[in-house]
């Protein structure tokens, strides 16, 4: 079986690492800041992937996480993919980075994916986990990607969506209860935002629509 090798490359200087866990950004849990050490302990405590995904789904903030342990690597993007994270592999190694061009260079393939190129020209972006490069994939919003080797020594990539935006209509809930729940959620969201701003000026672009008015 081929040796499992993962190279993690970070373009910026704002990544922090402890043991086998790397973090960029800031994480909160129950409205409290979660340190990198706390995050590593949380992942250690939840070894099974289902338990780990449930723990990750409770996190808030703007972050990207990379975890390498033995013959497994885990790459996680927050719910809105505020910090892009990419991955790719060749016959010898798996590459994880916030720089897709670096991954292209390591693999040595610089061609564009024709289908992705057409999609980008028509929409302004590429959907799903694809990028403009045929050898570079992206971790999607609310997704954890687990990379390992199968029994034959081939690289195995498995995507886990710990968060999906699928609105549901709960007809048994009264309008008053829905408004109350919405108020609780908005209060929690904006409390985290104000805490994160820490006295800095918050700029809200005004479109004239309901969203910007609600934010203000």
The residue-averaged pLDDT of 67-87 equals: 93
In this prediction, residue 166 has a pLDDT band, given cuts at 50, 70 and 90, of confident
Whether residue 58 is predicted with pLDDT greater than 70 in this model: the reply is yes
Residue 130 is classified by DSSP as B
Higher per-residue confidence, 91 vs 174: 174
Residue 29 β-bridge partners: 32
pLDDT of amino acid 12 = 67
Place of tokens 């809200």: 204
pLDDT of amino acid 133 = 96
Token readout for 149 is 């080797």
Whether residue 2 is predicted with pLDDT greater than 70 in this model: the reply is no
Residue 130 · residue 113 · CB < 8 Å:
yes
The residue-averaged pLDDT of 39-50 equals: 93
Percent of the chain exceeding pLDDT 90 equals 66
Q: Which helix (H) or strand (E) holds 46?
A: none
Q: By C-alpha distance, which of 212, 195, 192, 214 is closest to 203?
A: 212
Q: How far apart are CA 28 and CA 37, in angstroms?
A: 13
pLDDT of amino acid 5 = 79
């Amino acid at each position: 079986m081929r040796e499992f090798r993962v190279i993690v490359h970070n373009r910026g200087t704002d990544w922090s690492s402890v043991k086998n866990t790397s973090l960029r950004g800031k994480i909160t849990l129950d409205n409290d800041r979660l340190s990198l050490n706390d995050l590593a302990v949380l992942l250690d405590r939840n070894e099974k992937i289902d338990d780990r995904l449930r723990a990750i789904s409770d996190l808030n903030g703007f972050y990207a996480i990379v975890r390498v342990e033995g013959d497994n690597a885990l790459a996680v993007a927050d719910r809105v993919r505020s910090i892009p994270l990419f991955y790719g592999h060749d016959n010898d190694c798996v590459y994880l980075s916030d720089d897709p061009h670096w991954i292209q260079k390591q693999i040595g393939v610089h061609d564009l994916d024709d289908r992705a190129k057409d999609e980008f020209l028509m929409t302004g972006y590429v959907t799903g986990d694809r990028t403009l490069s045929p050898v570079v994939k992206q971790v999607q919003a609310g997704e954890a990607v687990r990379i390992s080797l199968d029994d034959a020594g081939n690289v195995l990539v498995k995507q886990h969506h710990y968060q999906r935006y699928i609105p549901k209509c709960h007809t048994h809930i009264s309008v008053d209860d829905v408004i109350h729940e919405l108020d609780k959620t908005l209060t929690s969201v904006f409390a985290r935002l104000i805490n994160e701003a820490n006295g800095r000026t918050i700029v809200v672009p005004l479109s004239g629509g309901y969203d910007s008015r609600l934010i203000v």
